Amino acid sequence: MKKITYVTRRAQFSAAHRLHNPEFSDEENRRIYDKCNNPSGHGHNYDVEVTVVGETDSDTGMVIDLKILKRLLNDYVIEKLDHKHLNHDVDFMSGIIPTAENIAIKIWEQLKPHITSGTLHCVKLYESQNNYVEYRGE
Amino acid sequence: MKKITYVTRRAQFSAAHRLHNPEFSDEENRRIYDKCNNPSGHGHNYDVEVTVVGETDSDTGMVIDLKILKRLLNDYVIEKLDHKHLNHDVDFMSGIIPTAENIAIKIWEQLKPHITSGTLHCVKLYESQNNYVEYRGE
Amino acid sequence: MKKITYVTRRAQFSAAHRLHNPEFSDEENRRIYDKCNNPSGHGHNYDVEVTVVGETDSDTGMVIDLKILKRLLNDYVIEKLDHKHLNHDVDFMSGIIPTAENIAIKIWEQLKPHITSGTLHCVKLYESQNNYVEYRGE
Amino acid sequence: MKKITYVTRRAQFSAAHRLHNPEFSDEENRRIYDKCNNPSGHGHNYDVEVTVVGETDSDTGMVIDLKILKRLLNDYVIEKLDHKHLNHDVDFMSGIIPTAENIAIKIWEQLKPHITSGTLHCVKLYESQNNYVEYRGE
Amino acid sequence: MKKITYVTRRAQFSAAHRLHNPEFSDEENRRIYDKCNNPSGHGHNYDVEVTVVGETDSDTGMVIDLKILKRLLNDYVIEKLDHKHLNHDVDFMSGIIPTAENIAIKIWEQLKPHITSGTLHCVKLYESQNNYVEYRGE
Amino acid sequence: MKKITYVTRRAQFSAAHRLHNPEFSDEENRRIYDKCNNPSGHGHNYDVEVTVVGETDSDTGMVIDLKILKRLLNDYVIEKLDHKHLNHDVDFMSGIIPTAENIAIKIWEQLKPHITSGTLHCVKLYESQNNYVEYRGE
């Protein structure tokens, strides 16, 4: 009988960002985003966890080859975000306010087309040890 | 298209407690609660994680303002539990056996009326690095 | 009104393993399992989390006595896996390729018959800080 | 040639305590110890690390048998402090204000006579993730 | 007899920075600082640990009042660095290349004049989970 | 004025090992090494921290280029130990009982000749979350 398992790979990137909506007034931006609206930006060590769900292959004992998941996460996410400024340096974040919510959604969109074994289930993004978000494609 | 995200804020409090049901005999209390029935009590550093789920606002890029979630968690939970004895010092724990299960349920009830952006989804309470519970309002 | 809570106990074991399917050629084994196919094996500190779900008992304030869950986890899982080689020394892993997915499924099967208070909900197995799997009996 | 190594064993206990000096007035106690002076006490999960230094034995490759260090730490420290109130339940803490500094010194004094292989070098005590103290027998 | 203890307080700040020496050519800056030279900067969650050493006061059982150490660390370090760009927004970092080494030295210099109970012993700065530096006033 | 700082880089490897001295009888090996003498071996995720001390270069603001320290640690330590059996697969561990003490000493000897900026100060090796050793070249 086939068994469903959830397989998660974790990685880390360090990036700068600034929360600022150009359609808000400066005063609204400061009120809504507070310290996160600092004009020169600030930064985080982000931890990202990607979960794939599927049947465990009876020959290999795996849902997805973790080497491949590690490589996809590295090539489509870490390489593009690590040691970057999320407002200026990342093609797929262009025009997006880099809240943790939006970064998680964009990481999902980056990875989704490449997960061909199992199904992408969740992207979890830690902005700090006290803040994290999850996006499950809903 | 609107996207659903789950946003979590974490905080910590240090408290004493004793597991003891006055309707049980002393012997039953010792058998059921064992070391946790020690008459003078013992204590923990508790970590609490509160998760709110909802649509990401397209203007702010946020489900709930994390500053507000941090303040609610601080005012209605941490300020009331930190450096307290859960059996003696906390109004909303009065008459409740302070198991991790019951503390999580009471934290949910404390926060629920104040979450007006998004929906309270989960309260997760770590009693130690090896024990934790979750309550999801079920 | 009864409340449903999820209660988790965590424990650790250190074990050696080798990923190798005798029905594959040596070349296939190396291609699929890569470094994990090293003939002498390698090893990990595994963290295992077992979650039980159920109604909180109104007398005890507990779903399951954590002392009992700790003992079951110790007797049926940790004692059998700790400081062992998963390919050679563990009866319930015999003939099973010890991927994280398969170990989690087997831990579930070991514990399931013994959880008589609440219902076994999830087995989560960390192979390293960057890799973990979950099995939920699906 | 003999090599010197430092070997550390870590363990955890959960305890209640209250910071209060009976020779101070109530007002002084509140001013000095603040939230830690709460009359019913509060509590922590304490992590304790014990370090032994010495020459690595050329036959065994060990400074001290970690099984023995684990047992000493368990018998003389953890068993006496875990799930206890440090002001009321612990013989060797009697009459001592249970600051982290004083607990670390007392743990050193408990262990020192029993370390017969290598030399006790340091006791490190974490009161929370943000506070810790070290005592080195100076 | 007086006992010497080492007391540590930990805190966290999130900041952006760029490693760049205006006296180097652009090519030298890229060769030496690599990804850390990214023009728009990047960022980290920094953990800082401040250690004070001294005799344990026999009346209070403390080397330094941890509330005071927490306040000093907050007022002279965290408030000035948190959610800032270290190259642009911090008076005491002006003209300093914000390597972890230099940030730790500057944090020491900020705190040193204010530690009037015990002696400042060490500033430890984690730039990420894999990189940290210590400065001990040498 | 030159400032001395201590710079640490951390990495992880997963390996199998068996504690066994061929000069001891089987009974002595079991008595001394207990579970660690299991004939098929067991394994760990090891964390290794390498600390280099030196003057902070006034031009670069660095003691040692962390990219270089990362590469040295990877090439001379991680590549040789990761996903290996320490008793069988590692040239520089040949004939050595792979206690944590001996592994730390051997890692020091591997790295020492290659640290040409600053001075190697400490190798710290975590065998599990509860056991670690340090070697400082003494």
Interface test with B, best of C1, C2, C5, C64 (most B CBs within 10 A): C5
Tens-binned pLDDT, residue by residue, of chain E (138 aa): 689 999 999 999 999 999 999 999 999 999 999 999 999 999 999 999 999 999 999 999 999 999 999 999 999 999 999 999 999 999 999 999 999 999 999 999 999 999 999 999 999 999 999 999 999 999
Instruction: Measure the CA–CA gap between F9 and F105, rounded to whole angstroms.
Output: 17
Which residue in D102, D130, D136 is closest to E56 by CB distance? D102
Instruction: Measure the CA–CA gap between C18 and C88, rounded to whole angstroms.
Output: 10
Name every chain B residue with its beta carbon within 8 A of the beta carbon of A131.
Answer: 7-10, 66
| H helix intervals, A54-120 | 66-73, 79-81, 100-111
Tens of pLDDT, residues C58-80? 999 999 999 999 999 999 999 99
Write the DSSP symbol of residue E73. H
Burial class (CB within 10 angstroms; exposed 0-12, middle 13-18, buried 19+) of D67: middle
Write the DSSP symbol of residue E18. -
Instruction: Measure the CA–CA gap between D75 and F79, rounded to whole angstroms.
Output: 40
D134 - beta bridge partners?
Answer: D124, E6
Instruction: Measure the CA–CA gap between D4 and F134, rounded to whole angstroms.
Output: 9
Q: What residues have CB less than 8 Å from A27, skipping those under 6 apart?
A: none
pLDDT of residue F4: 97
Interface size, chain A vs chain E, as Cβ–Cβ contacts under 8 Å: 82
A123 - beta bridge partners?
Answer: A50, A135
Question: What residues of F act catalytically?
Answer: 36, 83, 127
CA angle D89/D90/D92 to nearest 5° reads: 155
The pair of three-digit structure tokens given for residue E94, joined into one six-digit string: 């002006």
Chains in touch with C (3+ beta-carbon pairs under 8 Å) read A, B, F
Q: Decide if B36 is catalytic.
A: yes
Instruction: Measure the CA–CA gap between F69 and F20, rounded to whole angstroms.
Output: 33
pLDDT of residue E1: 64
Write the DSSP symbol of residue B138. -
- Chain-centroid distance, C-alpha E100: 8
Instruction: Measure the CA–CA gap between B38 and D84, rounded to whole angstroms.
Output: 7
Amino acid identity, position D86: L
Q: Which of A72, A69, A70, A94 is nearest to A84 (CA)?
A: A94
Tens of pLDDT, residues B29-40? 999 999 999 999
Which residue in B12, B15, B36 is closest to D83 by CB distance? B36
C115 within 8 A of C127, measured Cβ to Cβ: no
Q: Which of F10, F56, E89, C131 is nearest to A16 (CA)?
A: E89
Write the DSSP symbol of residue F74. I
Average pLDDT over residues F57-70: 94
Q: Decide if E127 is catalytic.
A: yes
Measured in residues, chain A has a length of 138
Model confidence at A1, pLDDT cuts 50, 70, 90, reads: low
Strand E84-85 to A42-55 pairing? unpaired
* Annotated catalytic residue, options D83, D88, D101, D134: D83
Shortest distance between the Cα of B1 and any Cα of chain A, in A, equals 10
D8 within 8 A of D49, measured Cβ to Cβ: yes
* Annotated catalytic residue, options C42, C55, C79, C83: C83
Instruction: Measure the CA–CA gap between D35 and D43, rounded to whole angstroms.
Output: 12
Whole-model pTM: value is 0.96
Q: Which domains does chain F have, with CATH numbers?
A: 4-135 (3.30.479.10)
**Cβ atoms within 10 Å of D84's Cβ, excluding its own:** 24
Name every chain A residue with its beta carbon within 8 A of the beta carbon of B6.
Answer: 133-136
Q: What is the dihedral of CA A71, A77, A79, A83, to 10 degrees?
A: -140
Q: Decide if B42 is catalytic.
A: no
Amino acid identity, position F55: E
ipTM above 0.90, yes or no: yes
pLDDT of residue C2: 85
Strand A119-128 to A131-135 pairing? antiparallel
Which residue in B6, B10, B67 is closest to A133 by CB distance? B6
Tens of pLDDT, residues D87-102? 999 999 999 999 999 9
Chains in touch with F (3+ beta-carbon pairs under 8 Å) read C, D, E
Instruction: For residue C59, give the chain B residue with the closest CA.
Output: B21
Confidence check: pLDDT of F1 > 70? no
DSSP string of C84-136?
Answer: EETTTS-GGGTT----HHHHHHHHHHHHGGG--SSEEEEEEEEEETTEEEEE-
Tens of pLDDT, residues B9-25? 999 999 999 999 999 99
Which residue in B10, B61, B65 is closest to A97 by CB distance? B61
Instruction: Measure the CA–CA gap between D5 and F134, rounded to whole angstroms.
Output: 6
Name every chain C residue with its beta carbon within 8 A of the beta carbon of F14.
Answer: 42-44, 128
